[in-house]
A = this chain, B = another copy of it.
Amino acid sequence: MKIPIQVSVDRAEPIYHQIEVQLRALILSGQLAEGTQLPSIREFASDLSCSVITIRRVYQDLENEGILRTRQGTGSFVAQVGETVREQYRKEAVIEAMRGAVRTGFGVNCTVEELHILFEKAIEQVSMEKKE
């Protein structure tokens, strides 16, 4: 099973964190349904060109959050996630990212009008990415 996750070593953010963030999003948004089996840590590490230890770290962290369940010999599965948790996360993660972007904009003295223009451009650009 191919998980739509990408990591970049060029960013200051550690790899394990990049994976956690994206995997958490896939789970909490429902794109990975409850009960779905995730790739083995060896397979996933190979897919993302990182070490098994890194993936295990991710799986363990998410298991500690209760959104993954792992069984030795069998694999890791998406756990049951409450609808409240989902909706909360869904909104919070996005608005947090938005706040960061707005702070960046204000940090370089953008006006609100400029922010809107750049936001539309960003949507356009990311929408085109999705088509690939």
Which residue numbers of A lie inside 8 Å of B, CB to CB? 12-14, 17, 22, 25-26, 28-31, 89-91, 93-95, 97-110, 112, 114-115, 118-119, 121-123, 125-126, 129-130
Would A119 and B118 count as touching, CB distance under 8 A? no
| CB-based nearest B residue for A31 | B109
Across the A-B interface, the 10 shortest Cβ-Cβ residue pairs: A98-B122, A97-B101, A29-B108, A12-B17, A97-B104, A25-B107, A102-B126, A101-B101, A94-B105, A90-B108
User: Which B-chain residue is minimally distant from A16 (CB atoms)?
Assistant: B12
Tell me the bound Cα distance from A89 to B109 in angstroms: 12
Contact B103 A126 (CB under 8 A): yes
Contacts of A12 in B (CB 8 A): 13-14, 17
Given contacts A12-B13, A13-B13, A104-B25, contact A115 B99 (CB under 8 A): no
Given A12-B14, A13-B13, A123-B115, decide whether A105 and B97 contact each other with a Cβ distance below 8 A: yes
Report B-chain residues with C-beta under 8 Å of the C-beta of A109: 29-31, 90
